[in-house]
């Protein structure tokens, strides 16, 4: 932008542009500036490394396709979360020239015009306590990958016995950050946080019945934990994956 103002100055000095015209143009630029300031949010992908994710749930297909196409035009790729198989099929049908991948476990659709995912060099480890937590973990995994990270996963380490945890942690030892998904009483994230030296993000999963079921007890016990643990909303795989990718990318960027 400096260049543009400098050019204008040159034109004023050279007489090609009157001071009044220049002042007007600069005011215009300033308006653009203010709008641009507000528009910063548009640049979230560039600024924060977080891709645009559209919540498919509750959106009608036309609307959803419209939004996703717009984002693909702007940034080459677009992710829709909580999408049904029907929505995925409808998207594919509506934009046959774009590539549409559907991940039923994660309920995620990724629409691209061939633009590749970035590559940050960061590594995110993703762990689940049980098999019911995998759908949330997969959401985290796909987002982290969209943000350029490599992912290492160890699913069902709690359900199959804690003996799987130690080898699993060993396999994931290169991770820069961990996402740990757990429902019911949700203690696995604290256990992992007590064993690894890297940041652990706990994701309560809406599993479990009765009192404080559906992830509520998990959320509570993660927030109350003595371990050094940060938490996201129940089932918020997207947030956890993106947060872990931010950490991992930062580690590699230095």
Name residues contacting a second copy, limited to 142-201 (CB under 8 A). Answer: 161-163, 165-167, 176-177, 184-187, 190, 193-199, 201
Cα 152–154–156 angle (5° rounding)? 155
Binding residues among 39-58 for a second copy as defined by CB under 8 A: 39-42, 44, 47-50, 55, 58
Nearest to 46 by CA among 76, 9, 70: 76
User: Residues in contact with a second copy, total (CB under 8 A)?
Assistant: 101
- For the segment 10-29, give every residue that binds a second copy (CB under 8 A): 10, 12-13, 15, 18-20, 22-23, 26-27, 29
Establish if 68 lies at the interface with a second copy (CB under 8 A): no
Question: Does residue number 80 form part of the binding site for a second copy (CB under 8 A)?
Answer: no
Burial of residue 253, with CB atoms counted within 10 A of its CB: 0-12 exposed, 13-18 middle, 19 or more buried: exposed
217 binds a second copy, rule: CB under 8 A:
yes
Strand (E) positions, 159-209?
Answer: 177-182, 200-204
Question: Is position 61 an interface residue for a second copy (rule: CB under 8 A)?
Answer: no
Q: Helix (H, G, I), strand (E, B), or coil: what is residue 130?
A: coil
Nearer to a second copy, 27 or 115 (CB): 27
- Pick between residue 99 and residue 164 the one whose CB is nearest to a second copy: 164
Q: Is 182 exposed, middle or buried (0-12, 13-18, 19+ CB in 10 A)?
A: buried
Dihedral sign from CA coordinates of 45, 48, 50, 53: negative
For a second copy, the binding residues in 104-143 under the rule CB under 8 A are 131-132
């Amino acid at each position: 932008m400096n260049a543009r103002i400098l050019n204008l100055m040159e034109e004023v000095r050279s007489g090609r542009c009157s001071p009044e015209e220049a002042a007007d143009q600069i005011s215009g630029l300033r308006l653009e500036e203010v709008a641009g300031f507000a528009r910063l949010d548009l640049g979230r992908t560039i600024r924060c490394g977080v891709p645009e994710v559209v919540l498919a749930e509750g959106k009608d297909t036309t609307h959803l396709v419209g939004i996703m196409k717009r984002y693909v035009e702007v940034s080459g790729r677009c992710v829709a979360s909580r999408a049904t198989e029907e929505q995925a099929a409808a998207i594919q049908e509506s934009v046959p020239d774009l590539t549409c991948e559907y991940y039923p476990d994660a309920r995620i659709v990724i629409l691209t015009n061939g633009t590749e995912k970035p590559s940050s060099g960061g590594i995110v480890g993703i762990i689940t306590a049980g098999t019911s937590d995998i759908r949330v973990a997969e959401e985290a995994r796909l987002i982290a990958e969209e943000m350029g990270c490599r992912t290492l996963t160890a699913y069902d380490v709690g359900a199959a016995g804690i003996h799987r945890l130690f080898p699993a942690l060993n396999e994931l030892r290169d991770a820069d950050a961990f996402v740990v998904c757990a429902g019911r009483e949700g203690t696995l994230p604290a256990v992992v946080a007590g064993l690894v030296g890297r940041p652990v993000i706990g994701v309560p999963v809406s599993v479990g019945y009765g009192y404080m079921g559906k992830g509520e007890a998990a959320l509570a016990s993660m927030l109350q934990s003595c371990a050094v643990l940060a938490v996201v909303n129940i089932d918020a795989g997207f947030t956890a994956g993106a947060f872990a990718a931010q950490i991992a990318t930062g580690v590699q960027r230095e």
